[in-house]
Structure 1
Amino acid sequence: MKSAVETLNPTRVRLTVEVPFEELKDSLDAAYKKINQQVTVKGFRKGKIPARVIDQRFGRGAVLEEAVNDALPRFYTDAVNEAEVNPLGQPEVDITELKDGELLAFTAEVDIRPAIEIPDYSGIEVTVDAVEVSDEDVDKSVEQLRDRFASTNPVERAAAEGDVVTLDLEAKVDGEVLADGQAEGVQYTIGSGELLDGVDEAVTGKSAGEEATFTSTLKGGSAEGKEAEVTVKVTAVAAREVPELDDEFAQMASEFDTLEELRADSRKRLENMKQYDQATQAQERVLDELLKLAEVPIPEKLLEDEVNTRKHNLEHHQLGQMGLNLDKYLEIQGKTAEEFDAETREQAVKGIKTQFVLDELVNKEKLNVSQEELTEHLMRRAASSGMSPDQFAQAVVEGGQVPMLVGEVARGKALAVVVDAVKVVDTNGEAVDLSDEDDEAAEAAEASAEDAPAADDEKAADKSE
C-alpha cells in the first residue's frame, strides 16, 4: 500500500492511498462468503455457490462494493498510522479509482489535532478572593443549622411572616378552573417565595378558615406563563419555634458539647469552603490567562459537533428536567437566539482550546494518572451526580467512559502544574500558596479541566473506526 498526506490547513489533512488489488483478497473472500449466506441459487446448496456463479447472477460489482466497504477502514487506519497524524472524527472518503484485479485508490479528508506550542506561562499573575470568614458568616451558618431544628406548633391567630400555613388553592384562567389548577393541604412558609408571586400578601393577616383572591402568573402546569385568578384558603396556621442558642442546642445538633465549640467548627468549615472556592477561582483565572497566550487553531467540524452537542444536552436533558423548552429558557435569561448561539459557540471554542492545550501539557510534562487518583476522581464525580460510587463506576465502565475520566484527571494535573508555576495573590495583596491545600487544589483543577468537549482521543478514535 502507498499513501501520502497533504496538509490542507493546520487542522485538516487529505490522505491519498493506493492499494494493490491482491491486498483485497481477504475482503473479497469475506464478501463472497457473506453473499453466499444471503442468497439462494437453484441447483446449489446454501453457502456453496461458486464465486463465478455469484458474479454471473448478482454482478461482480456488488462483490467489489462489499469487499471495499469491508477493507476501507483497515487501509485508512494504516494510512493514518503511517502519516503519524491524530484524526478527530470520521473521515470523508472518496474512491478515486477501482480497477478489478489491478488497483484500489481513494482519498480521505479528516480533521486532525493541531500541533500546539505551549507558551511561556511563568509571567502569569492572577488575583483571587481572600479567605476571610467574619463573625456574621458564622452567625448565619449557625442560624441555618438552628432553622433545621425548628418545630411548628398550631396557633389560633392571624398568619404572619415566618409562619407555616396550610393552604387550599384554586386557579382560574379566563374564568375557567384549570384541570390541574386545584391543590389541597399545601404547606407553605410565609416569606419563603416558594409558591406563586402574591401569595405572601394574600395570606398574611388571614386566620384559619379565611380566604383571599389574587392574580399571579402561573409557574408550571397546563397554563404555565398565563395570568390566573388564584383563590387561596388558609386551613391552618402554625408558628415556627427555633431552639435557644445554647450548649443544649449544640449537643442536640452536633457532636459538640458547647455552643463555642460548634461555632468554632462552623468557622473552620466555612474557611475550608472558601479555600476550595479560592483554589477553583485560581484555576479558572490561570486557565483563562494561559488560553490567551496559546495559539490554538480550531477544527471547524469539531466545533460544529461540539456546539450541537451542547445545545442537545441543554434542550433534551437539563431543560427537560426543569420542565422548560429552549424558548422559555431564553425568555427567562433575557437572551435572543442569536445571543445564545454566540455564547454557546464561545463556550465550545474555550472547551476545545482547553482540552488541546492541557493535553499537550500532559504529554510535555509526561504526566500519568495513578489508580488512586482515578478512584478519588470517580468518588467525587459520583457524589456530584447523586449516584453511589459503585453505581457510577458501573455506568462509567459500561459506557466505555474510563478513558474520559483518566483524561479529566490528567488535564487537572496539567493545570495544577501551571498554577504552581505562576503568581497567585489574594485581594489583600497576599501571595496564595495552593500547595498548602493539595486536596482542594487538585479537586479544583480537575473541576476546571472537566468542561472539555467530546474531542478527546478515545472518542475521536471511536469515531474514526
Structure 2
Amino acid sequence: MKSAVETLNPTRVRLTVEVPFEELKDSLDAAYKKINQQVTVKGFRKGKIPARVIDQRFGRGAVLEEAVNDALPKFYTEAVNEAEINPLGQPEVDITELKDGETLNFTAEVDIRPAIEIPDYSGIEVTVDAVEVTDEDIEKSVEQLRERFASTNPVERAAAEGDVVTIDLEAKVDGEVLPDGVANGVSYTIGSGELLDGVDEAVTGLEAGGEATFTSQLKGGSAEGKDAEVTVKVTAVAARELPELDDDFAQLASEFDTLDELKADSRKRLENMKQYDQATQAQERVLEKLLELVEVPVPEKLLEDEVNTRKHNLEHHQLGQMGLTLDKYLEIQGKSAEEFDAETKEQAVKGIKTQFVLDELVNKEKLNVSQEELTEHLMRRAASSGMSPDQFAQAVVEGNQVPMLVGEVARGKALAVVVEAAKVTDTNGEPVDLEDEDDETETAAETVEAVVDGDADEKAEKNEA
C-alpha cells in the first residue's frame, strides 16, 4: 500500500491511498463468505456456493463493494499511522479508482489536531479576590443556620411578611377556572417570592378566613404566560419564631457546646470555601492568559459539532429538567437567539482551544496520571453524577471512557503546572501561594472540565473582575 498526505489547511489534510488488489484478498474471501450465508442457490447447500456462481448470479460488483467496505477502515488506519497525524472525527472518503484485479485508489479528507507551539508561560500574572471573612459574613452564616431551626406557631392576627400562611388558590382565565388552576392547603412564607407575582401583597393583612383577588401572569401549567384572575383564601396564619442565639442553640444546631465555638467553626469553613474559590479563580484567569499566548486554529467541522452538542445538552437535558424551553430560557436571560448562538460558539471555541493547548502541554511536560489520581477523580465524578463509585466505574469501563477520564486528570495537571509558574496576587496586592492546596490537580481538573464541557458560564460571571 502507498499513501501520501496533503495539507489542505492547518486543521485538515487529504490522504491519497493506493492499494494493490492482492491486499484485498482477505476482504474478498470474507465478502464471499458473508454473501454465502445470506443467499440460496438451487443445487447448492447454503454456505457452499462457489465464488464463480455468486459472481454470475449476483454480480462481481456486489462482492467488490462488500470487500472494499470491509477493507477501507484498515487501509485508512494504516495511512493515518504512516502519516503520523492525529485525526479528529470521521473522514470523508472518496473511492477514486477501483479496477477489478488491479488496484483500489481512494482519498480521505479528515480534520486533524493542529500543530501548537507552547510559548514560555512563566511570565503570566493574574489578580484574584482576597480571602477575607468579615464579622458580617459570620453573622449571616449563623443566621442562615438559625433560620433552618425556626419553628412556627399559629396566631390569631393579620398575616405579615415572614409569616407562614396556609392558602387555597383558584385561577381563572377569561372567566373560566383552569383544569389545573386549583390548589388547596398550600403552605407559603410571605416574602419568599416562591409563588405567583402579587400573592404577597394579596395575603398581607388578611386573617384566617380572609380572601383576596389579584391578577398575575401564570408561570407554568396549561395557561402558561397568560394573565389569570387569582383568588386566594387564607385558612391559617403562623408566625415563625427563631431560636435564641446562645449556647443552647449551638448545642441544638451543631456538635459544639458554645456559640463562640460555633462561630469559630463558621469562620473556618467560610475561609476554606473562599480559598477554594480563590484557587478556582486563579486557575480560570491563568488559563485565559495562557490561551491568549497561543495561536490555535480550530477545525470547522469539530466546532460545528461542539456547538450542536452544547445546544442539545442545554435544551434537552439542563432546561428539560427545569421544565423550560429554549425560547423561555432566552426570554428569562434577556438574550436574542443571535446573541445565544454567538455566545455558544465563543464558548465552544474556548473549550476546543483549552483541550488542544493542555493536551500539548501534557506531552511537552511529559505528565503522567497515577492510579491514585485516576481513582480520586473517578470518585469525585461518581459523586457529582449521583452514582456509587462502583456503578460509575462500571459505566466508564463499559463505555470505554477510561481514556477520557485519564485525559481530564492530565489536563488538570497541565493547568496546575502553569498556575504554579504564574505570579498570582490578591486584590490587596499580597502574593497568593496555591501550592499548599492538597487537591490542586483535582481542582484544576474541575476548572478545565467546566470550560471544555460548557459549564463555566456561571463561574466565569461570578469571578469576573
Quickly name the TM-score band, shorter chain normalised.
over 0.9
- 2:445 matched residue in structure 1: 446
CA contact (8 A) 1:374 1:405 kept: yes
CA distance in 2, matches of 1:387, 1:129: 34
Residues 453 and 266 of structure 1: CA distance in aligned 2, closer, same or farther (over 3 Å): closer
| Greater RCO (CA < 8 Å, at least 6 residues apart) | 1
- 1:404 matched residue in structure 2: 404
Residues 398 and 169 of structure 1: CA distance in aligned 2, closer, same or farther (over 3 Å): farther
- 2:460 matched residue in structure 1: none
Q: Deviations for 1:131-177, whole angstroms, at most 9, x for unmatched residues?
A: 00000000000111111111111111111111111111111111111
Give the AA of the match of 2:105.
Answer: A
Query: Kindly, what percent of the aligned residue pairs are identical?
Result: 89
Q: Deviations for 1:31-64, whole angstroms, at most 9, x for unmatched residues?
A: 0011011111111111111100000000000000
Give the AA of the match of 1:406.
Answer: V
Q: Deviations for 1:75-132, whole angstroms, at most 9, x for unmatched residues?
A: 0000000000000000000001111011001000000011100011111110000000
Q: Aligned with 2:404: secondary structure?
A: helix
CA contact (8 A) 2:409 2:442 kept: no
Pick which of 380-389 and 180-189 moved more: 380-389
- 1:461 matched residue in structure 2: none
CA distance in 2, matches of 1:210, 1:452: 53
- 1:104 matched residue in structure 2: 104
Q: Aligned with 1:437: secondary structure?
A: coil
Q: Aligned with 1:450: secondary structure?
A: helix
- 1:50 matched residue in structure 2: 50
Deviation at 1:384, TM superposition (A): 2.5
CA distance in 2, matches of 1:31, 1:64: 8
TM-score when scaled to structure 2?
A: 0.96
CA distance in 1, matches of 2:452, 2:4: 30
Q: Aligned with 2:228: secondary structure?
A: strand
In the TM superposition, 1:38-117 aligns within 5 A as: 38-117=38-117
CA distance in 1, matches of 2:21, 2:335: 58
Deviation at 1:180, TM superposition (A): 0.8
Deviation at 1:304, TM superposition (A): 0.5
Give the AA of the match of 2:447.
Answer: S
Deviation at 1:367, TM superposition (A): 0.8
Query: Where does the alignment leave 5 or more consecutive residues of structure 2 unmatched?
Result: 454-465
Deviation at 1:394, TM superposition (A): 3.0
CA distance in 2, matches of 1:176, 1:18: 75
Deviation at 1:453, TM superposition (A): 4.8
In the TM superposition, 1:418-429 aligns within 5 A as: 418-429=418-429
Q: Does 1:287 align with 2:302?
A: no
Deviation at 1:399, TM superposition (A): 2.6
CA contact (8 A) 1:306 1:453 kept: no
Give the AA of the match of 1:335.
Answer: K
CA distance in 2, matches of 1:77, 1:390: 35
Q: Deviations for 1:283-303, whole angstroms, at most 9, x for unmatched residues?
A: 000000100010101011100
CA distance in 1, matches of 2:134, 2:320: 40
Residues 206 and 394 of structure 1: CA distance in aligned 2, closer, same or farther (over 3 Å): farther
Q: Does 1:146 align with 2:164?
A: no
In the TM superposition, 1:164-175 aligns within 5 A as: 164-175=164-175
Give the AA of the match of 1:10.
Answer: P
- 1:372 matched residue in structure 2: 372
CA contact (8 A) 2:97 2:105 kept: yes
CA contact (8 A) 2:168 2:235 kept: yes
CA contact (8 A) 2:412 2:446 kept: yes
CA distance in 1, matches of 2:145, 2:452: 39
Residues 9 and 70 of structure 1: CA distance in aligned 2, closer, same or farther (over 3 Å): same
CA contact (8 A) 2:350 2:452 kept: no
CA contact (8 A) 1:159 1:206 kept: yes
Q: Deviations for 1:259-287, whole angstroms, at most 9, x for unmatched residues?
A: 10000000000000000000000000000
Q: Deviations for 1:320-353, whole angstroms, at most 9, x for unmatched residues?
A: 1111111111111111111111000000000000
Deviation at 1:452, TM superposition (A): 5.5
CA distance in 2, matches of 1:391, 1:140: 39
CA distance in 2, matches of 1:71, 1:358: 35
CA distance in 1, matches of 2:176, 2:394: 50
CA distance in 2, matches of 1:185, 1:395: 44
CA contact (8 A) 2:361 2:414 kept: yes
Give the AA of the match of 1:334.
Answer: G
CA distance in 1, matches of 2:332, 2:265: 39
- 1:437 matched residue in structure 2: 437
CA contact (8 A) 2:354 2:452 kept: no
Q: Does 1:301 align with 2:301?
A: yes
CA distance in 2, matches of 1:32, 1:451: 50
CA distance in 2, matches of 1:429, 1:210: 59
- 1:414 matched residue in structure 2: 414
CA distance in 2, matches of 1:21, 1:287: 51
- 2:218 matched residue in structure 1: 218
Query: Where does the alignment leave 5 or more consecutive residues of structure 1 unmatched?
Result: 455-465
Deviation at 1:71, TM superposition (A): 0.2
Deviation at 1:372, TM superposition (A): 1.4
- 1:459 matched residue in structure 2: none
CA contact (8 A) 1:355 1:452 kept: no
- 1:340 matched residue in structure 2: 340
Q: Which runs of 4+ in 1 moved over 4 A?
A: none
CA contact (8 A) 1:170 1:231 kept: yes
Give the AA of the match of 1:186.
Answer: V
Q: Size of the alignment, in residue pairs? A: 453
CA contact (8 A) 1:153 1:239 kept: yes
TM-score when scaled to structure 1?
A: 0.96
Q: Aligned with 1:28: secondary structure?
A: helix
Deviation at 1:209, TM superposition (A): 1.1
Q: Deviations for 1:385-426, whole angstroms, at most 9, x for unmatched residues?
A: 333333333333333222222111110110000000010000
Deviation at 1:443, TM superposition (A): 3.2
Residues 392 and 237 of structure 1: CA distance in aligned 2, closer, same or farther (over 3 Å): farther
CA RMSD of aligned residues (A): 1.1
Give the AA of the match of 2:420.
Answer: D
Residues 201 and 286 of structure 1: CA distance in aligned 2, closer, same or farther (over 3 Å): same
CA distance in 1, matches of 2:154, 2:403: 57
